[in-house]
Every structure is written in C-alpha cells, then in structure tokens.
C-alpha cells in the first residue's frame, strides 16, 4: 500500500508543476507563438485597435517575408518622430531607417522586399512598376504620405511596411524599411474579441 503524500510534498509538487507550466509558456512565447495587442488604428479595416493577434515566430527562420504578410516588428528609433535615416527628396518615401531599434513593437503589412523599386500613388504601393493587390485597404485620403512618386530601392535585407489604413498609419513611408533582424514574426490569427476570431 503506497504511503500518503505529506502536505509539504504535495506543496513542492504543486510548485514544480506551476513552475514547469510557466516556463513552458515562456518558451512558447520566446520561440513559437506570441500574443500581440494592436496599439492603434493603423491596420483598420483588417485589424481593429485593441484586437489581439497571434504571431508565429518560426516560418521566417526557413523562408523570407513576402509581400502581403502582416508582421510584428521593432521599428527604428526614429519612428516616434517620423525620422528618416537618409536625406529624403521631395515627393519620396524614406529609403533608409536610423540604425537603432525603438523599444516598442509595431504591426504592419509587407509591401516591398529587398531590391524592389517602390513609389506610392494615392496610397497604393507601386512595386517594380505594378500596383500590388490591396483592395482590403482603407483609402489614403490625400495625406502627406499618399503620393510619394519618386522611386526608392529597398536595401538588402530590408522590408518596406505600410498599414492598411493608408491615411492614418505611421510606417516605412516616413521612417524607412525595416531590417530583417528586427522582424519578430508573422501574424496569422486574431483571437480577441470573440466576434473577430479569424485566420489571415
């Protein structure tokens, strides 16, 4: 007949189980899937402000981000003040970010990849001479970043990001493409609120 566990033994076992569960959850967030809350309206109508999404951190270890991917990343330090890392010609998007990372995360859509030539017309990304599919976006509305018709070339290992709410998004148009090392992962699903659950 097995001996009954002591109270102390049961407590130690519970602590070990809880510690393991917390460690496992942190491991999942660090290497596999991370939840992220949308901080602004820059991705409307695709994702609303305060919605929560899941970001997988695995696929970009095996393949590169593609045009159309919704990604979470660390922006350049100049993003808060729309500071570009290179001199901008009139009517031109920012071609280079400042070299330091900010201490926050953004979520945007990839609209151009390394080596692409890009300009902006009525809020639409024209990449290598062709408008990329973007019928899901909100019209730009004539703001400062709606028409930047002087082309730029995306540097190696950088990705140009734009919000789907083209007239109300601070994005690569103003602070430059994002280095690949600053990309955290690809958003693939919304999980909150319950009436907005879905897969991208």
Q: Let me know if 138 is a catalytic residue.
A: no
Angle at 28 between CA 66 and CA 42, to 5 degrees: 45
Q: Let me know if 108 is a catalytic residue.
A: yes
CB 47 within 8 A of CB 163: no
* Number of residues that make up the chain: 200
Which of the following is catalytic: 5, 6, 40, 42? 42
The token pair that represents 106 in the structure block: 């953004």
3-state SS, residue 82:
coil
Which of the following is catalytic: 108, 138, 172, 186? 108
What sign has the CA pseudo-torsion 44, 76, 56, 159? positive
Catalytic residues: 42, 108
């Amino acid at each position: 007949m097995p001996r009954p566990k002591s109270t102390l033994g049961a407590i130690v076992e519970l602590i070990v189980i809880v510690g393991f569960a917390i460690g496992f959850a942190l491991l999942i967030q660090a290497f596999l899937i991370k939840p992220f809350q949308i901080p602004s309206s820059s991705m409307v109508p695709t994702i609303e402000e305060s919605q929560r999404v899941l970001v997988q951190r695995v696929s970009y270890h095996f393949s590169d981000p593609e045009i159309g991917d919704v990604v979470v990343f660390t922006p350049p330090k100049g993003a808060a003040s729309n500071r570009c890392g290179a001199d901008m010609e009139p009517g031109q998007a920012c071609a280079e970010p400042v070299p330091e990372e900010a201490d926050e995360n953004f979520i945007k859509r990839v609209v151009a990849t390394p080596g692409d030539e890009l300009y902006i017309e009525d809020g639409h990304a024209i990449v290598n001479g062709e408008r990329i599919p973007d019928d899901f976006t909100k019209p730009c509305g004539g703001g400062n970043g709606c028409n930047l018709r002087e082309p730029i070339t995306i540097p190696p290992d950088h990705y140009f990001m734009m919000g789907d709410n083209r007239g109300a998004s601070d994005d690569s148009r103003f602070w430059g493409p994002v280095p690949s090392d600053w990309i955290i992962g690809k958003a693939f699903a919304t999980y909150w609120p319950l009436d907005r659950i879905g897969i991208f």
